[in-house]
Amino acid sequence: MIKTALKTRAYAAQKPGDTLKPFEIERREPTATDVLIRIKFCGVCHSDVHQVKDEWGGARFPMVPGHEITGVVEKVGDQVSRFKPGDRVGVGCLVDSCKECHSCKAGLEQYCEDRPVLTYNDVELDGKTPTLGGYSNFITVRERFVVNIPDSLPLDKAAPLLCAGITTYSPLVHWQAGPGKSVAVVGMGGLGHMAVKLAHAMGAKVTVISRSLNKKKDAEAMGADGYVATADPQAVEKAQNQFDLIINTVSSAADMNTYLGMLKRDGVMVLVGAPNESLPVSPFALIPKRKTLAGSTIGGMPETQEMLDFCGQHQLGADIEVITIDKINEAYERLLKSDVRYRFVIDMASLQEEA
Ligand code: NAP
Ligand code: ZN
């Protein structure tokens, strides 16, 4: 086990499906290559809900969720060169990887051939020490997995960029969203609303595909040129063969064939949404127009910094509802009803005041 020393307050689930409650944890004293961060804000990702409920299997408890972390550097190890106390920094879904494999060498740590070490619900490379996430006051992270938050972005609106931002930025870049490209975003939640803002800033024509018309005004304000409410069969029919790229952020089982029908010839639909169910796909939704169904997860460390710099230049933060930590269980309930505009962010000062 890694030696721990610093006690910090946190919120944890003790078993699958449990509510989150106050809990004390320990962080390691920074080693030569570590950065100790005082967490200011942490976004609430739908992945937190999936994992607390153990929907993906193999969850580890006690679980302290949270992988959209922003804060300020408290202390650095002797060999840390990129950060100093007082710097505004972020930590996303990754806290380690083998650093040697083909993917790590290419800065694609999220696809590490050994395994990426996730910020929570995982164990360190020693195979024993559990990782505990950002619903806490402090975290110790290796320098390589810490990023700079541009001065033009407030720490609360920047927090969701560490997962929702990079998870949508990476496939938009990989599949070349930009001028002349027609991009659709399925699901207007935390990931979806960032995808709209990012694709618009990249110069693509953006359409939101949501279940109802409820989010149309907001989508347009974020830069959407088009809007399809799937509750309206005529709107779905009109949207056939329209898009070069679809970023699908849906968090529960939905009919993929409907969305695939909206791709043009050679179009690509990228799944970033991760429901636990299998999603039936008809071969005839893909074959006749040479379509591709793909997947993507978060982004590597260089690309995460690139995304933050892009957001800094374009003044792109998330639309957030800031909550105190005692409202976290209510926030999970609301997330399950898609009742969030568009990301909950926990003000971690509320955890210091508690207990
Ligand atoms: P979220 O804020 O809850 O948004 C999900 C959106 O999906 C909802 O707002 C809703 O949009 C739509 N939706 C939900 N159920 C649906 C259904 N049955 N049919 C059609 N649409 C439905 O969640 P999030 O935080 O953005 O996360 C979305 C998903 O991405 C989660 O599964 C999460 O685990 C996953 N994720 C993956 C990665 C990765 O690396 N690949 C990273 C982060 C998150 P409308 O109200 O507009 O219909
Ligand atoms: Zn996430």
Q: What pLDDT digit, counting tens, does each position of 153-174 carry?
A: 999 999 999 999 999 999 999 9
pLDDT at res. 354: 59
Q: Determine the Cα–Cα distance for residues 287 and 330; give it in Å rounded to an integer.
A: 44
The ligand placed nearest to the CA atom of residue 274 is 1
Whether 159 and 25 share a structural domain = yes
Ligand 1 in contact with 157 (CB < 6 A)? no
Whether 59 and 135 share a structural domain = yes
Task: Calculate mean pLDDT across residues 180-194.
Answer: 98
Whether 332 and 251 share a structural domain = no
Task: Calculate mean pLDDT across residues 341-346.
Answer: 97
Task: Give burial (CB, 10 Å; 0-12/13-18/19+) of 321.
Answer: middle
Q: Give the model confidence (pLDDT) of 205-217 as tens digits.
A: 999 999 999 999 9
Whether 125 and 18 share a structural domain = yes
What range does the domain containing 275 cover?
A: 164-295
The ligand placed nearest to the CA atom of residue 332 is 1
Contacts of residue 76, defined as CB under 8 A and 6 or more positions apart, other chains included, come to 30, 34, 35, 36, 83, 84, 85, 143
pLDDT at res. 342: 97
Domain-located, residue 260: yes
CATH of the domain at 274: 3.40.50.720
Mean pLDDT of the chain: 97
Whether 21 and 139 share a structural domain = yes
State percent of the chain over pLDDT 70. 99
Q: How many Å lie between the centroid of ligand 1 and the Cα of residue 272?
A: 8
Last residue of a domain, one of 279, 295, 311: 295
**CA within 13 Å, CB half, 171:** 30
Indicate if the pLDDT at residue 130 is higher than 60: yes
For residue 321, give Cα distances in angstroms to 187, 220, 307, 341, 345: 18, 19, 22, 7, 6
Ligand 1 in contact with 70 (CB < 6 A)? no
Whether 15 and 126 share a structural domain = yes
Ligand 1 in contact with 274 (CB < 6 A)? yes
| Residue to probe by mutation, ligand 1, list 198, 211, 249, most atoms within 8 Å of CB | 249
Q: Give the model confidence (pLDDT) of 10-54 as tens digits.
A: 999 999 999 999 999 999 999 999 999 999 999 999 999 999 999
CB atoms within 10 A of CB 168: 31
CB atoms within 10 A of CB 81: 8
Banded model confidence at residue 355, pLDDT cuts 50, 70, 90: very low
Whether 190 and 152 share a structural domain = no
Ligand 1 in contact with 110 (CB < 6 A)? no
Banded model confidence at residue 220, pLDDT cuts 50, 70, 90: very high
Whether 183 and 269 share a structural domain = yes
Domain-located, residue 317: yes
pLDDT at res. 142: 98
Shortest-distance atom of ligand 1 to CA 335: 3
The residues that bridge with 209 in the sheet, in sequence order, are 186, 228
Q: How many Å lie between the centroid of ligand 2 and the Cα of residue 70?
A: 14
Q: Determine the Cα–Cα distance for residues 92 and 337; give it in Å rounded to an integer.
A: 25
Ligand 1 in contact with 252 (CB < 6 A)? yes
Ligand 1 in contact with 45 (CB < 6 A)? yes
Which residue lies with its CA nearest to atom 39 of ligand 1?
297
Last residue of a domain, one of 295, 321, 342: 295
Whether 182 and 282 share a structural domain = yes
Shortest-distance atom of ligand 1 to CA 296: 41
Shortest-distance atom of ligand 1 to CA 340: 2
Ligand 1 in contact with 335 (CB < 6 A)? yes
Q: How many Å lie between the centroid of ligand 2 and the Cα of residue 154?
A: 19
Domain-located, residue 332: yes
Domain-located, residue 54: yes
Last residue of a domain, one of 256, 279, 295: 295
Which residue lies with its CA nearest to atom 10 of ligand 1?
187
Largest CA distance in the chain: 63
Whether 229 and 155 share a structural domain = no
Q: How many Å lie between the centroid of ligand 1 and the Cα of residue 233?
A: 22
Indicate if the pLDDT at residue 311 is higher than 70: yes
DSSP per-residue codes, 224-276 = -SEEEETT-HHHHHHTTT-EEEEEE---S---HHHHHTTEEEEEEEEE----S
pLDDT at res. 125: 97
CB 265 within 8 A of CB 243: no
CATH of the domain at 15: 3.90.180.10
The ligand placed nearest to the CA atom of residue 93 is 2
- Tell me how many domains the chain contains: 2
Whether 38 and 158 share a structural domain = yes
Domain-located, residue 1: no
How far is the first Cα of the chain from the last one, in angstroms, to the nearest whole number? 28
For residue 199, give Cα distances in angstroms to 47, 193, 217, 220: 22, 10, 17, 13
pLDDT at res. 2: 72
Indicate if the pLDDT at residue 69 is higher than 90: yes
Q: Determine the Cα–Cα distance for residues 193 and 212; give it in Å rounded to an integer.
A: 15
| Residue to probe by mutation, ligand 1, list 46, 172, 186, 213, most atoms within 8 Å of CB | 46
Ligand 1 in contact with 211 (CB < 6 A)? yes
Which residue lies with its CA nearest to atom 27 of ligand 1?
46
Shortest-distance atom of ligand 1 to CA 215: 47
Domain-located, residue 112: yes
Whether 151 and 196 share a structural domain = no
Which residue lies with its CA nearest to atom 11 of ligand 1?
187
